Structure 1
Amino acid sequence: MKNTTFLIMLLFLTTKICWSQSLEYQQKKASKIEKSSVFTQIINGELKATIVYEDEDIIAFVPLRLQAPVHLLIVPKKEVHTINDISEEDTLLLGKLFLVAKKLAKEQGISETGYRLSMNINEDAGQSVFHLHMHLLGGKTLGPMVTQED
Structure 2
Amino acid sequence: MATDSNCLFCKIVAGQIPNDTVYETDTVLAFRDITPRANVHALVIPKSHEDTLGQMAADDPAGVAELFTAAREVARLEGIEESGYRVVSNVGPDAGQEVFHVHVHVLGAQELGPVGPGRG
Give the TM-score, by structure 2 length. 0.89
Given the alignment of the two structures, is residue 67 of structure 1 paired with residue 37 of structure 2, yes or no? Answer: yes
In structure 2, the residue matched to 1:107 is 77
Counterpart amino acid of residue 63 in structure 2: L
| Same amino acid, percent of matched pairs | 35
Counterpart amino acid of residue 46 in structure 1: Q
- Unmatched runs of 5 consecutive residues or more in structure 1: 1-33
Shift of 1:106: 1.1
- 87 and 68 in structure 1: CA distance in 2 versus 1, 3 angstrom threshold: closer
- 63 and 88 in structure 1: CA distance in 2 versus 1, 3 angstrom threshold: same
Moved over 6 A (4+): none
Q: Residues 84-129 of structure 1: CA distance to partner in whole angstroms, max 9, x if unpaired?
A: 3225551111111111111111111111111000000112210010
Given the alignment of the two structures, is residue 140 of structure 1 paired with residue 115 of structure 2, yes or no? Answer: no
Shift of 1:83: 2.2
Task: Count matched residues.
Answer: 117
Higher strand proportion (structure 1 or 2): 2
- 88 and 122 in structure 1: CA distance in 2 versus 1, 3 angstrom threshold: closer
- Unmatched runs of 5 consecutive residues or more in structure 2: none
**Hey, what's the Cα distance between the residues in 2 that align with 1:94 and 1:149?**
28
**Hey, what's the Cα distance between the residues in 1 that align with 2:26 and 2:119?**
43
In structure 2, the residue matched to 1:125 is 95
Higher helix proportion (structure 1 or 2): 1
In structure 2, the residue matched to 1:42 is 12
**Hey, what's the Cα distance between the residues in 1 that align with 2:117 and 2:8?**
29
What is the aligned counterpart of 2:64 among 85, 90, 94?
94
- CA RMSD, Structure 1 to Structure 2 (Å): 1.7
For residue 86 of structure 1, give the secondary structure of its aligned residue in structure 2.
helix
Larger radius of gyration: 1
**Hey, what's the Cα distance between the residues in 2 that align with 1:122 and 1:57?**
23
- 60 and 88 in structure 1: CA distance in 2 versus 1, 3 angstrom threshold: same
Q: Residues 1-30 of structure 1: CA distance to partner in whole angstroms, max 9, x if unpaired?
A: xxxxxxxxxxxxxxxxxxxxxxxxxxxxxx
8 Å contact from structure 2 (residues 23, 29) kept in 1: yes
For residue 36 of structure 2, give the secondary structure of its aligned residue in structure 1.
coil
User: Which segment is superposed worse, 40-49 or 102-111?
Assistant: 102-111
